[in-house]
Amino acid sequence: MSINLTSIFYSTSPSKVADPEEGAELFAQQYSQSPSVNTIVDFADFILESTPEDVDSLIQAALLISRNVALPTVYWTSDRPQSTSDGVFNIDFRDKFHSNLSISETSERLEFLRGSLIAGRARSLGLVTSPETVGAVGEGLKFPDEVTYNSTAEIAEIRVLGACLQLLGSASKLIELFGERFAAVKVIKSLEEIRMGTGDNSFVDVSRFYATFFH
């Protein structure tokens, strides 16, 4: 039996995501009746395809679900015959948004920017963090001490936007976790030095974003 995630997380209105506790409880009830790896994989996709205004509630629900030790285990592979739902979700979720944060074509812009937003909020709310998500910020900001892969000007601009989305979602958490690597003065300096296209204008209005990032 497949689980209708929309009916769980939008139980009262198709335009309003459910309270995280309510969504987590409904998920646990239905999942326990028919535990399946496919349901966990679908849940990861559900978050990654959600609208920006719903991301926080769904991530908070995922956190509550991950802490529910009463959920039954599932057969995943022969090496993992009794996997916890949390174990399956964390691996699948990380793999998917890591893939979204790897961009080589401008056609991947939407997935990259959505992945950047989710990476920032997932880090800030404590769901997951990883070298790949952190590296994408340094790469986007063109830090001299970060590895930057060759890319076209268009892709470089998309990476800057992705870095800004991660900063908007978790700048204070980046500082808390990684200290001087993402010190405010370093981030601001990088933003000020990034130019748009062939012009001489800064890519972003740093003064407008400073308070949002770091206060």
Assess whether pLDDT exceeds 70 at residue 162. yes
Q: State the average pLDDT for the chain.
A: 85
**Got the DSSP string for the chain?**
----HHHHHTSSBTTBPPPHHHHHHHHHHHHHHS--HHHHHHHHHHHHTS-GGGHHHHHHHHHHHHT-TTSPPB--BTTBTTB-HHHHHHHHHHHHHHHHT---SGGGHHHHHHHHHHHHHHHHHTS---HHHHHHHHHHTT-TTS------HHHHHHHHHHHHHHHHHHHHHHHHHHGGGG-HHHHHHHHHH-B-TTSSSBSS-HHHHHHHHH-
Q: Express each pLDDT in 109-140 by its tens digit.
A: 999 999 999 999 999 999 987 888 888 898 88
Model confidence band, residue 196 (pLDDT cutoffs 50, 70, 90): low
Q: For residue 6, what pLDDT band results from cuts at 50, 70 and 90? A: very high
Long-range CB contacts for residues 23-27, cutoff 8 Å, separation at least 24: 23/57, 23/58, 23/61, 24/61, 24/64, 24/65, 24/68, 27/3, 27/61, 27/65
The pLDDT of residue 93 is 93
Does residue 211 carry a pLDDT above 70? no
Q: Tens digits of per-residue pLDDT, 32-90?
A: 999 999 999 999 999 999 989 999 999 999 999 999 999 999 998 888 889 999 999 99
Residue 51 buriedness (CB in 10 A; 0-12 / 13-18 / 19+): exposed
Q: CA 115, CA 121: separation in Å to the nearest integer?
A: 10
Cα three-residue angle 57-63-66, rounded to 5 degrees: 140
